[in-house]
Amino acid sequence: MAKKTPQSFNSLSFFSPLLLIGYLCLGFVPNLQAVDKIAPQWVGMTLLNLLSLAVFFYFRSSVKEKISKILTLHLSLFYLGFILWGGLSYFYAINSTEVLVNITRQVNVLLMFLSMAILFLNIKNKRFFVSWSLTIILSVEIYYVLDQLIELVQTVGSITNRASLKGVAANPNITAFSIAIKIPFLIYLIFYSRKKQQG
């Protein structure tokens, strides 16, 4: 009797959450002594895109329908049209070299968007995956801010320079927005846990 192959090796169910968490954690990529903090993050995004494309190619029979579904979304078509329009601006832009640089970045972001969308379709419990993932990332972000706050108080004796509380982002404003946008997911988990305990 033929030995059955485990279900996890016949689908993206094993790789999808790992790659999605990798994308969500791009903000934690360290500076690596780069002049621009975001440069290593672009490299990380490119590597994740290449890895995702390799996984999609390996499971091409399983993702064929998902790719078609994502590519026919209005948002995907709009984004593709935007990049095409931006690419055509090369022929009339004053700085054509800058067009090439930014179009390359936009294609990279488009690949990330499409890859995350395809991977997300393979998550069974999407609501809890997103809530738990963002809550864990929120905890790490808050830890970084508190660590910088304690270091600032120990060094200076007071919070005189709030701009130094950058967390994992490039500036405190981005950090504040990143924390604020994740709080509702934490609240959802708290209310769900209480409701589950009561019911």
Write the pLDDT tens digit of every residue in 21-77: 999 999 888 877 777 778 888 999 999 999 999 999 999 888 889 999 999 999 999
Dihedral angle of Cα 129, 134, 139, 141, to the nearest 10 degrees? 150
What local confidence, expressed as pLDDT, does residue 4 receive? 45
Residue 167's pLDDT band (boundaries 50, 70, 90)?
Answer: confident
Q: Rounded to whole angstroms, how far apart are CA atoms 57 and 43? A: 21
What local confidence, expressed as pLDDT, does residue 70 receive? 93
What local confidence, expressed as pLDDT, does residue 161 receive? 67
What amino acid occupies position 187?
I
User: Pick the residue with more confidence: 164 or 188?
Assistant: 188
Q: Rounded to whole angstroms, how far apart are CA atoms 128 and 131? A: 5
